[in-house]
Amino acid sequence: MPFKDLHEFIAQLKKEGELWEIEAEVDPHLELGAICRKALNEKKPALLFNKVKGYSYRVLANMLGTSKRAALAMDTSEENLLKKYIKQTALPIDTPLSLVADGPCKEVKINKESLDLKKLVPQILSNQDDGGPFINNGMTICKDPDTGIRNMGNYRYQMREGKTRTGIWSREPQHLAVIYSKYEAMEKPMEIAIAIGTDPLLHIASQVRELPLDTDEIALASAMKGEPIDLVKCETVDLEVPTHSELILEGKVLPGVREPEGPYGEYPGYYGPVLNFPVVEFHYATHRKNPIYNYTYLGVPPTECHTLMTLGMEGGIFNRLKADVAPLVQDVYCPPDAHTIIVSIKKGYDEHAKHVIYSLLADRCSKTIIVVDKDINPRDLEQVSWAIAQRCHPSRDIIIVEGFAGIGPSNLKYNAPCTNKMGIDATEPLQGYPKLVRPSPQIMKEVEKRWEEIMPS
């Protein structure tokens, strides 16, 4: 069933045994992040911290930290997740949105004079070397000044000195950075709103890859949901936000202003550099009477970020290959490192795998691309390793190309300005290969039928 809000999803997580409620008081300074890290390492349920030191409301973490919980958000099974994701993200975006006059996110209103982000938002420092606390799991909403079309994405905000000022991390080709550049060229501030604590389907829709700039991700989420998502107008900016959000922050990204941002633990598992990024001034907030703050831990996989990244990569790459060089693509698997792509295809000609490799080398996140035959499960890394060992002729089947922007820190290993990418053709030729050692298909079918009878109880 579709979830109206975060509370309904939390109830479903609890019902499925996918939620741990933590009653012990937890310090947001390093301790909360460390608990999240341990839970992610051990593939534990999502965490609901009921007592966070210094704050009167609860914090939900690791909400979509596994594919099982992402499947729950999409009302499907873990086995059917990618299939449903591919189908739903390809739907026509024609579900109407519902604009309402008021809603739960407006129960409490805070004007600029009373706004203090350091009191309103838990000051969670995830790791000891972070540059400071961040807001890191809200849905950022803005509008393109050329088209008026709404855009939604997940960006992080580093707390600054003062009560209402943060940075914002975004760089092109991310849509927010592209839209902000238009405002900055006009020397105008960009209005934004952050919706924290939303229907998890909005998080999934915000990470769909290869969407055109003129796509409204909230409308996409409504299409995926099969029913309108209620929106309500903000109080001080010309934007609409999900009515059932827990907390809304309203502000403006200043034109021509940059301040150092970071360091912050990035998804490759290493700290990124301190760079200058735009600055936001918030001036209004609204929230439920007892809001639940939604936080995510980021670092070495697995994390919630990797769940969403890999799902988005798999769905986007599958659709791209099916529409272009590999109409009979069987499956796409992107391991949690978020830079490896493993594709199984039904080959149509001997160099087919290499065409798939070349088509994916330009992907922004790709670094290593492995193509296997349809009889190899790309999600079984032992099968993939076997295919590389038995079906790859290194001098002819490994492709290395140079001159790409750095992906993670590996180019720093040799102080190289750019990184290389690699493709591996681990497929058989269409003719001239030995037969595989396998039982006859008919006998295997008979064994499958008798399996429970044969195996000891």
* pLDDT tens digits along 210-266: 899 999 999 999 999 989 999 999 999 999 999 999 999 999 999 999 999 999 988
**Residue carrying the six token digits 């986007």:** 316
| Dist CA 152 CA 195 (whole Å) | 10
Separation of CA 273 from chain center: 21
The pair of three-digit structure tokens given for residue 247, joined into one six-digit string: 């907390």
Name the residue with higher pLDDT: 76 or 272.
Answer: 76
Q: What is the pLDDT of residue 412?
A: 84
Domain match, 137 and 188 both: yes
Has residue 235 been placed in a domain? yes
In Å, what is the CA distance from 43 to each residue of 23, 64, 301, 331, 365? Answer: 20, 11, 11, 24, 25
Read off the pLDDT of residues 337-393 as tens digits, 9 standing for 90 and up: 989 999 999 999 999 999 999 999 988 889 999 999 999 999 999 999 999 999 999
- Cα dihedral 177/179/183/185 (nearest 10): 70
Q: Where are the beta strands (DSSP E) in 102-256?
A: 108-110, 134-135, 139-143, 150-154, 157-158, 165-167, 190-196, 230-233, 240-242, 247-253
Domain match, 164 and 238 both: yes
Domain match, 410 and 357 both: yes
**Residue carrying the six token digits 């900055």:** 184
Arithmetic mean of pLDDT, 314-326: 94
Domain match, 339 and 273 both: no
Read off the pLDDT of residues 51-71 as tens digits, 9 standing for 90 and up: 999 999 999 999 999 999 999
162, burial (CB in 10 Å: exposed 0-12, middle 13-18, buried 19+): exposed
Has residue 268 been placed in a domain? yes
- The mean pLDDT of the chain is 95
The pair of three-digit structure tokens given for residue 342, joined into one six-digit string: 């493993």
Please give the share of the chain, as a percent, with pLDDT higher than 70.
100
Indicate the residue type of 85. Answer: Y
Domain match, 187 and 74 both: yes
Arithmetic mean of pLDDT, 154-170: 95
Q: Where are the beta strands (DSSP E) in 206-314?
A: 230-233, 240-242, 247-253, 259-261, 275-277, 279-287, 293-295
Has residue 98 been placed in a domain? yes
Read off the pLDDT of residues 77-106 as tens digits, 9 standing for 90 and up: 999 999 999 999 988 887 778 899 999 999
Has residue 438 been placed in a domain? no
Q: What is the pLDDT of residue 1?
A: 58
Contact 115, 241 (CB under 8 A): no
Residue 382: CATH number of its domain: 3.40.1670.10
Residue 245: CATH number of its domain: 2.30.110.10
Contact 170, 280 (CB under 8 A): no
Arithmetic mean of pLDDT, 168-184: 95
Domain match, 64 and 156 both: yes
| Number of domains the chain contains | 2
Read off the pLDDT of residues 405-433 as tens digits, 9 standing for 90 and up: 877 888 888 888 888 999 999 999 999 99
Domain match, 285 and 340 both: no
Please give the share of the chain, as a percent, with pLDDT higher than 90.
88
Domain match, 179 and 258 both: yes
Has residue 312 been placed in a domain? no
Has residue 75 been placed in a domain? yes
Domain that holds residue 422: 324-426
Q: What is the pLDDT of residue 350?
A: 94
State the pLDDT confidence band at 117, using cuts at 50, 70 and 90: very high
Q: Which residues contact 234 (CB under 8 A, 6 or more apart)?
A: 193, 240, 241, 248, 250, 284
Has residue 89 been placed in a domain? yes
The pair of three-digit structure tokens given for residue 218, joined into one six-digit string: 């909230």
Q: What is the pLDDT of residue 127?
A: 96
Indicate the residue type of 235. Answer: E
Contact 345, 330 (CB under 8 A): yes
Domain match, 407 and 268 both: no
Domain match, 328 and 300 both: no
Has residue 92 been placed in a domain? yes
CA angle 83, 88, 94 (to 5 degrees): 165
240, 270, 304 - which closes a domain = 304
